Amino acid sequence: MHLLSYLVKRLLYLVPVLLGVTLLVFVISHAIPGDPARMMAGQKASREAVENLRRSMGLDRPLPEQYGRYLWGLFQGDLGVSIRNQRPVLDDIKDFFPATLELTLASMVLCLGVGLPLGILSAVYRNRPLDHVSRVFSVCGVSMPVFWLGLMLLLLFYRNLQWLPGSGRLDVTLAPPVHVTGLYLVDTLLEGDGRKFLNALSHIVLPAFCLSYVYLAIVTRIVRSSMIAVMEQDFVVTARANGIAESVVVLKHCLKNSLIPTVTIAGLSMGELLGGAILTETIFGWPGMGKYVVDSVNFLDFPAIMGFTLVASLGYVMINLVVDLVYAFLNPQIGY
């Protein structure tokens, strides 16, 4: 019952959060100098044609009225129509969001699959060569700009070594898999096409590593510091004195009791990856939400910008809700 009331309360909090996000983004986006009607009509269009276009898009109405119309449509499940391509924004999001979700999930697999073991080993072998290598690896990760790392990865693995493809989700000679989930790695497996799966996997390696490296480094450092703090606790010393195997002490006693800060960082990283893949998608030509919103910003496409922000905000809030629920699973003393 406590869990149900907690979930209802958190979901109710979601409404004012999203309303605040829409208001803030609406004001900021409309404060940007520029005229989307002029950009859509072209520089050679007459002033009368631009005014007619502005009137047809409702851009001539007062800002409070425009915002009210947007909210009314939002309550009806309508995110508006893109100024740039005249398509419903919801349809655009359905087309582009699966690519971003797939890249985010692949990045999180790398982040946790490498960061957790590396952090554990770094703590267990503290102040030894492996720990020194791990710390250098982490410092490079948090210090290296994403755009520079992406360009270097393309230069090395695509241009010079030619081991991995440089852009897109599949080779241009291959047709996309039958759309089931929109995730190419999943859909190719459901289709039973191993060749296409390996091709999709090779395309996602570079952007996933580029996107995850910063967060992988952070997870490694958090796991290391949390593990070291727990390994110095009395109950760990007692477990070792009782003859419990070192692997059991490390994985069952130390790791489980140090996972709460790790889960917090992982949840925040997931939210940031979901909404912050703009640079990575632009560098690698990944057809996801990041590239979509960059094109929308360049065109002053207000509905598309608002739609992207809403999706990113919703994803961030829901991920944080899941993280809060996981806390109680890791530590029963934490209540709702």
How much helix, strand and coil, in percent to the nearest 5, is found in the chain? 75, 0, 25
Integer Cα distance of 236 and 245 in angstroms = 11
Query: 3-class DSSP state for residue 250?
Result: helix
CB-based contacts of 63, cutoff 8 Å, min separation 6: 26, 27, 30
Query: 3-class DSSP state for residue 88?
Result: strand
In this prediction the pTM is 0.82
Domains of the chain: 92-298+314-330 (1.10.3720.10)
| Residue 280 clears pLDDT 90, i.e. is over it | no
pLDDT digits (tens, 9 = 90+) for 223-274: 888 888 888 777 777 777 777 777 777 777 777 777 788 888 888 777 777 7
Give 116-173 as a DSSP string.
Answer: HHHHHHHHHTTTSHHHHHHHHHHHHHHHS-HHHHHHHHIIIIIIIS--S--SSSS-TT
Q: How much is the mean pLDDT over the chain?
A: 82
Q: Could you tell me the pLDDT band of residue 43, with boundaries at 50, 70 and 90?
A: low
pLDDT the model gives residue 199: 92
b vs e for 4-33, b when ≥16 Cβ sit within 10 Å of the residue's Cβ?
eebeeebeeeeeeebeebbeebbeebeeee
| Residue 136 clears pLDDT 80, i.e. is over it | yes
Q: Are 191 and 178 in contact (CB under 8 A)?
A: yes
pLDDT the model gives residue 300: 77
pLDDT digits (tens, 9 = 90+) for 287-303: 888 878 888 887 778 78
